[in-house]
Each structure stands twice: as C-alpha cells, then as structure tokens.
Amino acid sequence: MPTSLLPLRAGLILARSLAVTLPVAGLACDTNTPSYFPSPAGPIEVGAMGQPGQSNARITLAFRPPTDAERSALDRKSGQAGFHVPWLSRDQVSLSLHYTITNLSNEVGKAQLLIDGASEIYSYDAAAQRAALAMMAANNDEIIVLSLINGTPVLIAPGRSISGVVREDELAEAALDLDAIGRWMAAPVSVLINSSEANRVGLEGVPAGVDIPALYDLNVSFAASKHMRLTLLVRVRDDLDRLVSAPDNKFEPQPAAIMASYMR
C-alpha cells in the first residue's frame, strides 16, 4: 500500500471502531440505571421551637405521557383484559426511598416515617382520612388509619443520624395494596397489615395476572418528638426510560382519592 494512503486507511479503521464502540457504550449507559430525585422542598425539619412535631414531604415523579400509538395499545390491552392496563406498571417502574434522619436536639428523640402515595388510578392519604374521619366521628373512639407503609419508630441519640431505605419490594407491596383497596375492594386493614409474600389475605378479589399500577407520587409524613431533620432521596428504575426532566411534558393522571381505610 502506498504510504500516502496510510492516514486514509487509519481514518477508516478508527471510524469503524467508533461505530462499534460508541453504540456499545451508549447501551451500557442505559441498561436500567436508576435516576434519583430529592425532595423538591429540600430537607424538612420538625420539632424545633415553634415548629410542629410532624411535617410532610411530597415527591412526584415526572414521566412522559404515552404517545397516541401507546395510548391505543393500552386501550386495546385494557379491552382484552377487561380492566384498566396502566401506563406506569409496577413491573416496569421500581422505586426505593432513601432517607437520613438527624437529631438536631441535645436529647434522645423518637422519629417515625409514614408513607402514602398515589398511582395513576388511586391516591391514598392517611392524614387526610384521619382528618375527615375525625370530623365525622360522633363519639370519642380512637380512629386508627394505617398508611401504605408504616415505619417503625426509632430512637435517635442527640446529634446522631440514622440512614435507611424503604426497599423496592416494600414500595411494590404498597402499590399492590393501594390497587387492591382502590380497584378490587380489599379491606384496607387486611392488605396493609399482611404481606402478599406471606399470605394473600385481603387480595382475594384481585384478578390473577392483573397489571398493578406503579406508585408515581410519594407522600412522606415525618414525625419526631425532638428537633430533627429528614433528608429524602427517591431512587427510580424505569425499564422503559420514560422519566423526564421537562415539567411541561409530563404524565399528569388524576387519581381518585381513597377515603375508607380506617378501622375502629
């Protein structure tokens, strides 16, 4: 080969190499890697002088809406199945909630997290239910309304922090419970107390093979007996890469509120 053609040959080889390596690198970047979303309001503090001992943080995830073709496909699947097939399926969207609680006081304090949320079909807000039921209560019976996830109260030493994770399987169970209560008339106490992995109590009305809607909105209630700070981070894995950062083009369902999950 003439020497003058060597640079041309090298360029062709490098171009071919790039054509192979860059798509591979691109695929490696998108193999279901997670995205992270902090609380939009930042860390929340409760229990300081003049502050209530309880506060809420809400994190709503932004997904792109379905295209016309995808909407038609969902309608067709819904018609075939006989019930609504969600755009955001629990099998395709996995959430976990990472948190850190810091005791800012100089005394030992107790903290607890309660987690509610919404799917694209139903929303569940235990605090709103408590308030509504308290107004309707005709006697002094204590009203207990369970959240979708009821964290165990923890003691935190002064100046110390604890970190924890509400795992993907726990939030997936919460999505199942919400759907069972909302769509399939499950008794709230039955499904919220029982784990579907251990038994199917309360889930008898849920059809086999039904597509469970994923939670896309989390409402975290933070209660503490002392001055404490909560920092939240939601970790999301979306198999179909539908998360968006542009707020002007996001999926905005109107889930119906559930108002019946109480027990006396």
Partner 1 sequence: MVRILAPPPWALTFTLLLLAAPATAQITSEPASPYPDETQFARGLYGEAELGTLMFLADAREQLGFGTALGARVGYDLMRWAAIQVHAFGSTHTTHFGDAPQSGQLLQIYQGTAELKLTIRFGQLAALAFGGAGVARLSTNLLGTTGLTDPEVQEGAVLLGGAGVDYHTLSRHFSFGVLASFARYLAIHAPGAVGLSTYVRYTF
Nearer to partner 1, 103 or 219 (CB): 103
Stretch of 20-28, 51-59, 66-74, 131-139 lying at the interface with partner 1 (CB under 8 A) = 20-28
Nearer to partner 1, 189 or 233 (CB): 233
| Gyration radius from the chain CA atoms | 24
Q: Report the residue from 63, 87, 99, 122 that binds partner 1 according to the rule CB under 8 A.
A: 99
Taking the C-alpha atoms of residue 202 and residue 95, their distance in angstroms, rounded to an integer, is 23
157 is a site residue for partner 1 (CB under 8 A): no
Q: Report the residue from 37, 63, 122, 222 that binds partner 1 according to the rule CB under 8 A.
A: 37
Taking the C-alpha atoms of residue 190 and residue 212, their distance in angstroms, rounded to an integer, is 18
Distance of CA 109 to the CA centre of its chain: 27
Nearer to partner 1, 46 or 59 (CB): 59
Taking the C-alpha atoms of residue 177 and residue 118, their distance in angstroms, rounded to an integer, is 11
Q: Classify the C-alpha dihedral 111-116-117-119 as positive or negative.
A: positive
Nearer to partner 1, 11 or 52 (CB): 11
6 is a site residue for partner 1 (CB under 8 A): yes
- Partners of 228 in the β-ladder: 46, 103
| Rama region for 29: left / alpha / beta (φ>0; ψ in -120 to 50; rest) | alpha
Residues engaged in binding partner 1 (CB under 8 A): 6-7, 9-10, 13-14, 17-18, 21-22, 24-25, 28-29, 33-38, 98-100, 102, 161, 163, 231-233, 235, 245
